[in-house]
Amino acid sequence: MQQLIRHISLKRKSLGFDELKAEVIDPGFCTRCGACVAFCKNLGFNGQPKKISECVLDEGALECSKNGTCYDHCPVTTALSSEDVFGERGDESLGFYRKVVPLRATKEAILQKAQDGGAVTSILCAALESGRIEGVLAVDKDERWRSIPKVVTSIEDLINAAGTKYWASHTVQNLGKTIRELKLRKIAIVGTPCQINGVRKLQKGLLNVKQLEIITVGLFCMEAFSYEKLVEYFGSRLDLKKVKKMDIKKGKFLIESTEKIEIPLSEVKRFVPEHCLVCTDFSAELADISVGSVGTPAGWSTAIVRSQVGEELLKNAIEKGYVQIEEAVSFGPVKKLVINKRDRATDEIKRRKNEKLPLPPKAVK
């Protein structure tokens, strides 16, 4: 395994966990993606990344061998661009892409569990079935709807993990275990734009080796919510064990339980964490394929195919009969959300500058 991993060569003296904590974690900019923890035995994750032992720099092993592996791969310290990943800047709103297609799962079992058209689960089921990938880093949930990052290797487990959990999940942390312990070499990861950015940084730096393929499926994301604050807000009004689905549609936060609960989105916006308010990527611009609900009718998914690998995944899902394409995509609503998110982040960063509040490192570099 050791020869699979090549450490990034750093042009400057690296910053380490102390700086990550001071610049990213303590001011509230940590997205809880788990990228920093994935390859360091001195870090653990307990709500957020934590030191569990002093930095031991372990040259040659699959751990930090140069002070700063955690800092360098955090999506908040620096951001990659479409140009860094695909070699081209692409469209001003959507980033680099090859095509945008409406998709809907054909399998009833997937549609029953899926958030929207089930495109994510269908594409990945087809990829697992054909051996194109060996496992998927997905996010399941427990009976109280807490997100559980999992490595799934079966179609059944992948379908069980379908559906959106509207809060952070330290999904990327599992990348280390998947490569080291499970020894998988063809891995897909589903994630929000911040998680995909962390994966791309690891892919460009630490995991930049031929024998290892990491495929990224991004989710559109306007914002996440604090799980704890949402649960506190609903209190005894909501029995989480009975909730079947949560959704955001037409300005409302919707909960399907024994009854349907509708809350104006404006009411729960105060539970959006700091790190989402300064985030600029709506459409997961660095993913091989990005999927969301906006742009297509209810029960369909909008898929932005960006890379050659994304094209192959889509072709495979169509050939294996996992997805259908019939409707059209409306670009207008997708582009509107892209712009809204960028404008919100610009305003928030301006406000923070004026009030001399800390800024995410990538906003000042």
At closest approach, how far in Å is the CB of 49 from ligand SF4? Answer: 5
CB of 26 or CB of 256, closer to ligand SF4:
26
**Contact criterion met (CB below 8 Å) for 309 and 319:** no
> Strand pairing of 147-152 and 186-191?
unpaired
One character per residue 294-323, x = contact with ligand FAD (rule: CB under 6 A)? x------x----------------------
Give residues 326-365 in contact with ligand SF4 (rule: CB under 6 A).
Answer: none
User: Residue 178 binds which entry of ligand FAD, ligand SF4, none, with Cβ cut-offs from 5 to 8 Å by kind?
Assistant: none
Binding of ligand SF4 at residue 94 (CB under 6 A)? no
User: Nearest approach, Cβ of 309 to ligand SF4 (angstroms)?
Assistant: 21
31 binds, among ligand FAD, ligand SF4, none (CB under 5 to 8 A by kind): ligand SF4
Distance set, CA 71 to CA 15, 34, 54, 86, 165 (Å): 6, 12, 15, 23, 27
Long-range contacts of 43-47 (CB under 8 A, 24+ apart): 43/17, 43/70, 45/170, 45/173
Handedness of CA 348, 351, 353, 355 (dihedral sign): negative
**Location of structure tokens 């990945």:** 124
DSSP state of 8: P
Instruction: Tell me how many degrees the CA angle 98-221-186 measures, rounded to the nearest 5.
Output: 60
- Closest to ligand FAD by CB, 115 vs 307, is 115
Q: Which helix (H) or strand (E) holds 104?
A: strand 99-105
Which residues would be at the binding site for ligand SF4 (CB under 6 A)? Answer: 16-17, 20, 24-25, 30-36, 40, 42-43, 49, 55, 57, 64, 67-70, 74-76, 192-194, 198, 221, 223-224, 275-276, 279, 281
Which residues would be at the binding site for ligand FAD (CB under 6 A)? Answer: 114-121, 138-139, 147, 161-166, 169, 171, 190-192, 219-222, 224, 291-294, 301
